[in-house]
Each structure stands twice: as C-alpha cells, then as structure tokens.
C-alpha cells in the first residue's frame, strides 16, 4: 500500500480548494452564458462585465491550484522522503485561501484595475506571487534535482515554477511608463507574458500527466526517453515563442510571426502522440485500479487532436486576420483549458483519490465515467457553438451587417452554447462531488488504518 506523508493532508486541502474554484467558476460561466442570451439578465446587479472576469479568474485558479495540490502529493513520492517544509504547505493553503477570497470580493464589487485575465487591482498580483513561495521552496529543497539524471516531469515542473514567476512579473510591466506609454510595446509585452504564462501552467500539468502515466504503467523508460525530452524542449520553445500568434495584429517583425506559427502547434502534436503511445502499452490489469484516470487521459488526447487542428488554422496569419476577436478564439481558449487542462487535472485528482481501489469507490467510478461522457459530448456541442458564432461574425463583418441583426443571426449559436454549458455544469458538478467524497474517504480510510 502507498505510504502516507504528512504533506498529503495539505495537498488534499489544496486540491479541495481548487475544486471549489472550479465549482464557483462553472456557476459564473453559466451566468455569463445566460447573459449572452438575455442581455438584461442581472444587468444592474451583476453584469457580464463582472461575471466574465470572475469566471476567468476562478477557472484559471482551478488550473494553477489543481496543479499545485498534485505537486504537494507527488513531491515526497518522487523524492522518497517527506517534504522539506510541511508547515509551508499549510501556509500555502491558508495564504491562497485568504488572497483568493480578497480577489473574488474585489472582482465581485466591480473593483478592477488589472489587465485581461488578471483584472483585479495589481497589488493582489504581488500577493499571488508571494503565495507560491512555500511551494517553490518545498519543491527545490525536497527534490534537490540533479537534472542530468532527472526524468522529464522534474524538468517540466521546474520550468513551470520558474516561468510562472517570470511571466507573472512580466504581465505587470505595463505599470511602468516605458511600456504603458507605447501601444505596440505594451500590447506585445502583455500578450507575450500571457501566452508564456499559459506555457508555464502547461509545463506543470503536462509534467503531472507524464508522472501519472509512469505510475499507472509502471514503466519508467518513456519519461527518460529522447522523445519525452524532445517534447519537453519543444514545450519550452512554445512557452518562449508561441505568444507571437497573439500579436499578429501588432506591426512586429515578420520573422517573429513565422517562427511562432511553426512552433505553435508542435507542442500539442507531441503531447498527443505521447499519450497515444502510452495507451498502447497499458495492460487490462493496470486499468483495474486506474480506469478513470486512463479515460480522462484518453479524453484529453481527443481534445488535443481537435484543438491542434483549430490551432493550426487560426495560427495562419491570413486566417488569424479574420478569426481574431471572434468566438473562434474563445473556442480555442476554452477548448484547451476545458478539454485538455481540466481532463488532465481530473486524471491527477482521481489518481490521488485512489478511486479504483475499493468497492464503494468502484461504484462512484462508474458514475463518474458516465458523467464524464456526458461532459465531453456537451463540450463538443459547446465548442462547435463557439466556432459557429465565430464564423457568423466573420461573415457578418464581411457583409457589413448591423449589430442588432448580427446578434439575431448569432442567437441559435448562443442558445446551443448556453444549453450545452448547463449540461457541462451539471456533469462536472456530479464528477466533482464524487472527487470530493473520494478524496475525503481516502483520508478517513487512511486514518482508520
């Protein structure tokens, strides 16, 4: 049986915190969806200008915090000893809890002052950076990584942590006049920072996916292979350069656009391939304990495939000219964060909850399987609806259709978007309740043993 470590409790607390971010984020997403359909819905008390930033803040917090909770759980297992600073893990939990409540209160009251994705007043950005310190200390002090021999997930996690700091700090450069006073410089730096920040959370999450794939298959070779490292270095190149496709509208040097176009799609291709190859090596007996994580990784693979096609299309500069600022970009952002990041994080959570290991868990596992199927079907409709709304906008722009008529023509897509959003909410709510109960049960079983 797996040894329990003192840091498993804060790890589970952090995971539960991440799940609550997702639950609240989903609720706000659904409210935002209804505001698409009924523009007057909650207009006075809680308009779309408030629900959107709060939704985005919460779902991004789910992604980062879900990755952090997993790291606290995996760290002592990778190192083969307890973490260097267990109290730090609790400090991390409480700091993050307090800071996120403060940020939510600001956004709820409509007190902005930040930029896209980080719309809360900038002072809170400093606090967010502070809340990560215990994790960084624990990571490096526990593992003391020797990179020559380290498996690829240690490289990925280290890079994710380091670049989170760099990109987060960079996303606040607009506070300095040198950047703020020049629109080209400002837009370029801002999108570079945000694009690379996505790369940093991908590094954390892909590292986690690689680690659990190794644990499920029991095969250590793939994470030390040339393919895995080529994936890592491409991921790194992506992190540094793929932001270029966000700035096609800015008059920057053409070579930047060309490089970023070619680099943009490589990462998804290689990750998709790694999961595909891994699935072929899995035996039936291994699936017995980890069926749910296996299914979640398979769903992620499916979404990698779809989003790769979309990314290839919208990264062509000529196509980007039309798709920029339409719901096609939203489809890309939500398709990747929901289909890939969320599926991989749930795979990690169910792996930690050991859902396949006892019979009450097994029953929940079946339910979670059905709900996840519903989620993925609904997500497909959701994604198609966003693409439809995007194409409609492109056609309306070309035909110079007036705004009211444009909204009329987009209404069927918005309906499909909101209805499938409600199904997504319902299905994920069920999955998350099972995740919460499994995490809590695992804890009880352990304290009873």
Q: How far is the CB of 287 from ligand HEM (least distance, A)?
A: 25
Q: Which is nearer to ligand HEM, 266 or 329 (CB)?
A: 329
Total binding residues toward ligand HEM, as defined by CB under 6 A: 21
- Supply the DSSP string of 206-267, one letter for each residue: HHHHHHHHHHHHT--SGGGSHHHHHHHHHHHHHHHHGGGGG-TTS---HHHHHHHHHHHTHH
Q: How far apart are the first and last CA of the chain?
A: 11
- Give yes or no for residue 30 binding ligand HEM (CB under 6 A): yes
Q: Which is nearer to ligand HEM, 18 or 418 (CB)?
A: 418
Q: Which of 24, 56, 271, 296 binds ligand HEM (CB under 6 A)?
A: 56
- Contact window for ligand HEM (CB under 6 A) among 53-61, 96-104, 134-142, 259-267: 53-61
Q: Which is nearer to ligand HEM, 41 or 229 (CB)?
A: 41
| Contacts of 244 by beta carbon, 8 Å cutoff, 6+ apart | 195, 252, 256, 257, 259, 260, 261, 263, 264
Q: How far is the CB of 69 from ligand HEM (least distance, A)?
A: 16
* Cβ atoms of 392 and 410 closer than 8 Å: yes
Helix (H) or strand (E) holding 176: none
Of 293, 303, 316, 232, nearest in space to 272 by CA = 303
Q: How far is the CB of 197 from ligand HEM (least distance, A)?
A: 12
- Contact window for ligand HEM (CB under 6 A) among 48-56, 262-270, 309-317, 364-372: 48-56
Residue 333 tokens read as 């952002």
Task: Draw the binding track, 311-350, toward ligand HEM (x: CB under 6 A; -: no contact).
Answer: ------------------xx--xx--xx---x--------
Of 428, 289, 312, nearest in space to 371 by CA = 428
Residues of this chain, 366-425, that bind ligand HEM according to CB under 6 A: 418, 421, 424-425
- Contact window for ligand HEM (CB under 6 A) among 9-17, 25-33, 68-76, 212-220: 25-33
Q: How far is the CB of 27 from ligand HEM (least distance, A)?
A: 9
* Cβ atoms of 258 and 207 closer than 8 Å: no
Q: Which is nearer to ligand HEM, 150 or 330 (CB)?
A: 330
* CA–CA distance, 381 with 416 (Å, rounded to integer): 7
Paired with 118 in beta bridges are 115
- Supply the DSSP string of 260-317, one letter for each residue: HHHHHTHHHHHHHHHHHHHHHH--HHHHHHHHHHHHHHHHHHHHHHHHHHHHHHHHSH
Of 379, 363, 361, nearest in space to 427 by CA = 379
Q: Which of 4, 6, 42, 52 binds ligand HEM (CB under 6 A)?
A: 52
Q: How far is the CB of 12 from ligand HEM (least distance, A)?
A: 20
Q: How far is the CB of 422 from ligand HEM (least distance, A)?
A: 7
3-class DSSP state of 356? coil
Q: Which residue is closest to ligand HEM by CB?
A: 421
* Cβ atoms of 22 and 428 closer than 8 Å: yes
- Contact window for ligand HEM (CB under 6 A) among 29-37, 166-174, 269-277, 432-440: 29-37
Residues forming the site for ligand HEM (CB under 6 A): 26, 29-30, 32-33, 36, 52, 55-56, 59, 329-330, 333-334, 337-338, 342, 418, 421, 424-425
């Amino acid at each position: 049986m797996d040894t329990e470590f003192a840091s498993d409790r804060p790890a589970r607390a952090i995971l539960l915190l991440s799940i609550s971010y997702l639950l609240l984020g989903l609720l706000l997403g659904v409210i935002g969806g209804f505001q698409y359909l009924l523009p007057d819905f909650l207009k006075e008390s809680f308009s779309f200008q408030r629900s959107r930033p709060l939704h985005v803040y919460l779902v991004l917090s789910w992604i980062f915090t879900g990755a952090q909770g997993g790291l606290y759980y995996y760290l002592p297992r990778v190192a083969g000893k307890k973490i260097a600073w267990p109290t730090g893990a609790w400090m991390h939990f409480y700091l993050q809890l307090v800071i996120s409540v403060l940020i939510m209160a600001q956004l709820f009251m409509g007190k902005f002052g930040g930029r896209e994705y980080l719309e809360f007043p900038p002072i809170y950005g400093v606090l967010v950076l502070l809340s990560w310190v215990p994790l960084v200390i624990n990571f490096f002090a526990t593992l003391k990584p020797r990179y020559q021999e380290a498996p690829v997930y240690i490289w990925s996690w280290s890079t994710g942590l380091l670049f989170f700091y760099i990109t987060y700090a960079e996303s606040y450069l607009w506070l300095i006049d040198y950047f703020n006073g020049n629109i080209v410089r400002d837009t370029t730096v801002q999108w570079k920072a945000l694009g690379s920040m996505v790369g940093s959370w991908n590094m954390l999450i892909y590292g986690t996916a690689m680690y659990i794939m190794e644990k499920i298959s029991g095969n250590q070779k793939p994470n030390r292979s040339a393919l895995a490292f080529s994936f890592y270095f491409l991921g790194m190149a992506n992190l540094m350069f793929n932001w270029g496709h966000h700035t096609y509208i800015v008059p920057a040097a053409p070579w930047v656009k060309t490089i970023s176009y070619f680099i943009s799609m490589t990462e998804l291709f290689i990750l998709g391939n790694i999961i595909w190859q891994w699935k072929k090596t899995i035996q039936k007996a291994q699936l017995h304990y980890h069926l749910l994580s296996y299914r979640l990784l398979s769903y992620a693979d499916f979404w990698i495939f779809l989003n790769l096609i979309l990314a290839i299309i919208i990264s062509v500069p000529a196509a980007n000219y039309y798709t920029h600022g339409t719901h096609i970009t939203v489809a890309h952002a939500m398709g990747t964060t929901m289909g890939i990041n969320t599926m991989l994080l749930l795979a990690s959570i169910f792996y930690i909850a050991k859902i396949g290991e006892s019979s009450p868990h097994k029953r929940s596992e079946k339910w979670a399987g059905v709900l996840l199927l519903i989620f993925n079907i609904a997500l497909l409709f959701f994604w198609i609806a966003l693409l439809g709304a995007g194409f409609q906008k492109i056609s309306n722009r070309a035909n110079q259709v007036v705004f009211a008529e444009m909204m009329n023509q987009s209404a069927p897509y918005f309906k499909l978007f909101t209805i499938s959003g409600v199904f997504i909410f319902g299905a994920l709510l069920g999955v998350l309740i099972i995740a919460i109960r499994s995490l809590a049960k695992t804890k009880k079983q352990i304290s009873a043993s």
